[in-house]
Each structure stands twice: as C-alpha cells, then as structure tokens.
Chains A and B, each alone.
Chain A
Amino acid sequence: MNEPLQRTIPTPALAAGAPGALVAKVRGEPFTELPQDLYIPPDALEVFFETFEGPLDLLLYLIRKANLDILDIPMARLTEQYMEYVEVMRTKNLELAAEYLVMAAMLMEIKSRMLLPRPTMPGGEGEDPRAELVRRLLEYEKMKLAGQRLDALPQLGRDFFPVEVWIEQALAQRLLDPESVAGPPRACENDAAPPRHPRGAFGARAHERHPAAAARRGLRRVRRAVRSGARRAGAHRQLPRCTRARQGKPDRDHAVRIFRAHLREAG
C-alpha cells in the first residue's frame, strides 16, 4: 500500500514494525504486536486442515478470537497468508485451495470497494460492501452452533438405549444360522401351532406390515455389526435376529430381503 492510500484508510493498516513498536491502532487502542492468531505457519497446515472447516470458518475464527471486526482485518497481510496456504494446498488438496482463493478474492474486493467513495444514491445509501460476507458468516456460524447443539442432544445408541426385554432375546432365532435358514420347515405347515409367547406376536406384527422397513432395519443391524463387530470376537451375536417366532418358522423371506438389500448396496 502506498502512502496516500494509507491516509484514507479509516483504521490504520498494519505497518511493518519491530515487535514492541507501535504497529497499529485498532479502534483507538495501541497495538504493539501482530495478533498471533493471524499467522499459521505452513508447517502447521495439517493441524490447520483439521481445525478449520473452510475459509468461512477460518475468517469467523479470526474475527471472534482475535477480536477483529470485518472492517479491521488487515487485508494485505491476510491475503498474503492466504496465498501462502494456497501454494501449499495446491500440492495437497486443490479443491480446498480454490475455496480459500475465492475467499481471499472476496476480502480484497470488499476492501477495495470500501476504499472507493460510495455513490450517493438519491433516497438511500448504497449497500455496505461487507453486508453479503457478514450475512454468510452469520448463517455459517448459526449452522455451526446448531450442529454442536444437535450433537449435544441425547442420541439413541450413544446416550441411551431402547429397552429390550429379555424374553425377546430368548425367542430370537439368528439369521444366517444354517440350521434355521436351510433346515426343513418345522411348524410352518401347521397353522394351528400356538404362539409360543405373545412377545413373538409383537415382533412379527411390525415385520408383516412393513417387510421393506424390516429389511432396512435388518440391514442397519448388519452394517452396525460389520462396522463394530470386525474388531472383536463374538460378533455373530450382533447379527440380526429373526423375530418371527410365532409360527416357529424361520423367516426366509426376511433373510432374503436383507441379502438383496445388501446386493443392491454393493452393486
């Protein structure tokens, strides 16, 4: 930035100065050091990637933590920084680099528009060049906090379990148990076979009504089992159970549906 331009900037931009010397005045407060937060060494880029979800997130962080407001961001230095990251990112993640580049361009555009005299429209002022960026930052921050709030809600499987009565476990037949799937139909021809326990009736009702939903549930269980079960022995216990115990008939349809759902997934 050249000298005449410097004078027109409302808040003095950062001048190159030795540590301890007055670097700038921000809102009337003397500033003797560059905000530490502003500079992230390229070596720390790995950490940087994990810490920030993107250029908006980084900008929000700078504004919040370094107590900068959008007006006070030293654009020249920030842009220089961005360009350094972009250089390193180019070798690692081109898509991300492009996003940071867009942000840098946007910041520069805002700054340059702020430096220009604003056209005085009859009957109203022109839109603040920062308005769009602020709108986006606010929307992003809202969603960021909303995500944290959703995560804080009690979550099934993580913070609580649905209650499962023991009797269900006792009656359950295991899917893919070769004996029950491939074995001869036992009581299935005998329609008069009495329900072994009312519990069976309950499980069966839901499945009979929504075979597709039941297959989806089964599929979810298999996935969960595969995800977590691979690590330890006894994983077979997590396999979906057939709850159609009322007729004493292995639910081959149900097993087939889960299997087909799997094939679809894989295909």
Chain B
Amino acid sequence: MLNPNEVKIVLEAALLAAQEPLPISELRKMFDEEVGADTIRRLLEELREAWKDRGVELAATASGWRFQTRASYQKFLERIHPEKAPRYSRAVLETLAIVAYRQPVTRGDIEEVRGVTVSAEVIKRLEERGWVELIGHKEVPGRPALYATTKTFLDDLGLRSLQELPPLEDIAKTLDLTQIPPPASQPAPDESETAHTV
C-alpha cells in the first residue's frame, strides 16, 4: 500500500503522460481501487497547489484532469508553435453561444435569435472543431436536426460543466421599455398649441 505522497507522485506521472484528460474513476484503477475517490480528489487538489507557480498547471475539465500550459505564457509558446488555432467569426461565435446556452436547438431556433439565415458552413465549422454535434431530431413537421454542445467543447474551454458557462448578463435592465408619453406632455412647441386648439 502506497502512502499518500507516493500516490500523489503516481498521479502526477500518470497525468503528465496522459494524452487525454483522465477522470478520477480512471485514476483510481492504478491503485486497484484501494484509494478512495475523495482521497484522489484531495491529492489532485494538493498537486494543483504544488504546480501553482509553474509554467504548467493542473486543470479539471468536463472529461477529467489534465496538465496544460498556462495561458499567460502562450505569447511565448506560439512563437515556436507555428500552427495557428482557428479564429472564429462573429457568426460562428453567436451560433456557438446560442447552441451552448439554449440547447438543444434547431437551425430555425438559431435563425430566430440571430435574425439571419444560418449558413451550413457555420454549423460545419463548429462540428469539425468537435464542439457541436447533432443529437437527434425534433418531433415536429420536417423533423429538424437538434444540435447541442459536446464534452470536447467544455474540455477545450476548460469548463467542467455547462453550469460554468459565463453567466448571461441581465441586459433587460439597460434597455428598458419606456412608456409612450401622452402627446400633450411632448415638446412640439408650435404644434402642441395648435393641436389643442383644433
């Protein structure tokens, strides 16, 4: 039986060597299930703390735990990493937001919100990135496809669940519906007079 410190070192080695995020259930298998999930979680937190000041950090995502480089050093790393990550247009980002916050949605739902036709290209880009997938069909005439976000989407944005999406701002407060004022109170100087006298 390993002591907690040794377990921690094994976890570190496993996570550094893994290609994909590893869930706690997977990590437990290394110890013949002898170490409880709570213990692993606590050790992972300790490990995360231990890597706090390094160029690499331990992060928890939807699929599990993984080591990743810190975003603050990216500007240096990308100089030796010629492969550029795709930049997405507003159309793609707005579509992604609608799928993420209102899922599952049909293409019609997206068009309703955006007020424009959603091109097949936009959905395809999100599908290719593995962020959005078809999860079924809505049982209405025409059986339109229903889209939802994937685990990869959460993983790639470092989120553990949809609950961690940035909260939608309460914009309603800033754009208020002012009541139509009665005509008499409106300043139409030369006209209000006549309007009354007519």
Contacts and interface: CB of A to CB of B under 8 A. Distances in A.
Interface of A: 6-8, 10-12, 25, 28, 53-57, 63, 69, 71, 95-96, 99, 103, 114, 128, 130-131, 134, 136-151, 153-165, 167-168, 198-199, 202-203, 206, 216, 220, 223-224, 227-228, 232, 238, 243
Given A7-B188, A142-B169, A53 B97 contact: no
Name the residue among A69, A130, A149 with the largest chain B CB count within 10 angstroms: A149
A227 B84 CA distance: 10
Interface string B133-168: 000000000000000000000011111000001101
Does more than half of chain A's interface fall in helix, strand or loop, or is it mixed?
helix
Contact of B97 (A143, A164, A223): A143
B18 interface: yes
Contacts of A11: 186
Contacts of B74: 158-160
Report the 5 A-B pairs with minimum CB-CB distance, sorted nearest first: A147-B93, A158-B85, A54-B116, A56-B115, A146-B97
B178 interface: yes
B175 interface: yes
14 contacts: A56-B115, A96-B117, A136-B113, A142-B168, A145-B169, A146-B101, A147-B93, A148-B93, A150-B100, A154-B71, A158-B86, A206-B18, A206-B19, A232-B82
Interface of B: 14, 16-20, 56, 66-71, 74, 77, 81-88, 90-91, 93-98, 100-101, 112-117, 128, 130, 155-159, 165-166, 168-169, 171-172, 175, 177-178, 180-183, 186-188, 191, 194-195, 198
Given A10-B181, A10-B186, A141 B158 contact: no
B169 to A, nearest CB: 6
B113 A71 contact: no
Nearest to A146: B97
A71 B96 contact: no
A137 B175 contact: yes
Contacts of A150: 93, 96-97, 100, 157, 165-166
A138 B86 CA distance: 29
Contacts, number: 175
Contacts of A167: 17
A161 B177 contact: no
A170 B128 CA distance: 29
